[in-house]
Amino acid sequence: MNAPPCPTAPGGVWETDILRYDRSHPDGFRERAVVILERPLTIEVDGTPYTLLRSPGADRELVVGFLFTEGLIGSPGDIQLLRECPETPDLMAVKTANPGEKPRRSLIVTSSCGLCGREDLEAMVAALGRVESPWQVPVAAVCRVSPAVLAMQPLFRATGGAHAAALFDETGKVLCVREDVGRHNALDKLIGHALLRGISLNSAGVFMSGRASLELIAKAARARIPVVAAVGAPTAAAVEAADRLGITLCGFLRDERVSVYAHAWRITASPRAVEADILSTRKESG
């Protein structure tokens, strides 16, 4: 942890010495490498501390997104004070309009799990309610998102260790990208960005660079996001929650392919696919 910051890479990284082996150098050689930072951020919400392991950067968006997806606030207007501590850069103090009993966390929220420590998972999912949105997006537009996001990930290109969350519209245009060592943190940063700018998430899709898990579906439901598309596979819990909460869930979004696991009606086929389906139906019927 004493390595100097990397002067040429984006924020949230360090440089360190490594010993690399490959076919051309079987005896190994030393070089400098860039690694992603993972630092704790403590958020004191009306005196209750929550600690997140995150990549530094967009911390205010992360805090607002986290408070919202945890149900600690209903909108940014519920925050009366959001203060970064100059003496302690990894500490932020928050005062809300409705201090009271908060959802309990018995553990640090790690970069690998956004729901660790929750003691009320079933109640939390049941209370989210269905996402009601008529928004639809063509499958061709969805398939354009992944390569576009990859080109907008400086932290991943520098370290190979960052996840991304991206907001996209019905044409597949990427509106915003946020990166973090944790998938749930990246999504909270994205949601916080939208909340602070008054952007409605009920008519947009969210792309995730990793797998789709329950915590991401829960956060999407809280933000009323109708479509979640992930590069990786979904978990069974994510599929079940998406179906229950009215969220269109896509997985394996890569190489112009995508698998839709829940509420596929929001993903509209291309005219060619529709024509092929009609022809196939006609052949089967006669």
Q: Which candidate in 6, 113, 143, 250 is catalytic?
A: 113
Q: Residue 172 is encoded by which pair of tokens?
A: 């597949």
Residue 113 is a catalytic residue = yes
CA atoms within 13 A on the CB side of 66: 31
Separation CA 233–CA 99 (nearest Å):
38
* Active site members: 113
